[in-house]
Amino acid sequence: MNSDIPASYTWTIPRLPMVLSPNSRTSRYVLHKRHDTDLQDSIGYFLQAGYTKPLTSWSKARVKITFIVAQNRARDWDNWRPRGKGFLDSLKPASGYFRRNRWVEASGLGIIADDNMECIGEPEMVIVVDKARAPATVIEIEREEIFLA
């Protein structure tokens, strides 16, 4: 294994992800724009942290997303889980999707092969109260070694 390739990455985005909950009464167009903004910000801050896009994707990894908030109050996980989607999508290789009957290219870091359950399981998402650092989102991804018997 090449020792130049890091076994983990950690970077911080100095804001919380945008609301992507299906419970929010927002148009699909606005939700797509919010998703794309989160995706692009994640890539930008990854590169700003001094990392470069890897040449090969990991087939197994653990992902942790920490939402740093200023206030300690009750929060509904059903509304927070979708917020990580744009950041998770930024970890995959570049791909695309159809929007309004036309193909749209989507950027990606290519750290993981895919963001499905087989590659990353269920991502760990945590809310931390820290007035000094809030608002922020910390993304941590660690490669899981696969040993064949």
One-letter identity of residue 142: E
Q: What is the pLDDT of residues 1-29, one digit of tens each?
A: 445 678 999 999 999 998 877 777 788 88
Chain position carrying tokens 């660690």: 142
According to the model, what pLDDT value does residue 1 have?
A: 47
Nearest CA to 109 out of 32, 9, 31, 12 is that of: 9
When computed from its CA atoms, the radius of gyration of the chain, rounded to whole angstroms, is 16
* 36: phi then psi, degrees, rounded to nearest 5: -65, -35
Give the per-residue pLDDT at 148: 46
Instruction: Please state the pTM of the whole predicted model.
Output: 0.85
Q: Which of 145, 85, 79 is nearest to 115 (CA)?
A: 85
Q: Is the peptide bond before 14 cis (omega within 30 degrees of 0)?
A: no
Say whether pLDDT at 31 is over 50.
yes
Average pLDDT over residues 66-85: 90
Identify the weakest region by mean pLDDT among 43-57, 64-78, 84-98.
84-98
CA distance 32 to 58: 27
pLDDT in tens, 87-138: 998 999 877 666 677 766 668 899 999 989 999 999 999 999 999 999 999 9
Q: Could you tell me the two tokens for 81?
A: 């889980």
Could you give the CA distance from residue 71 to residue 110 in angstroms, rounded to a whole number? Answer: 34
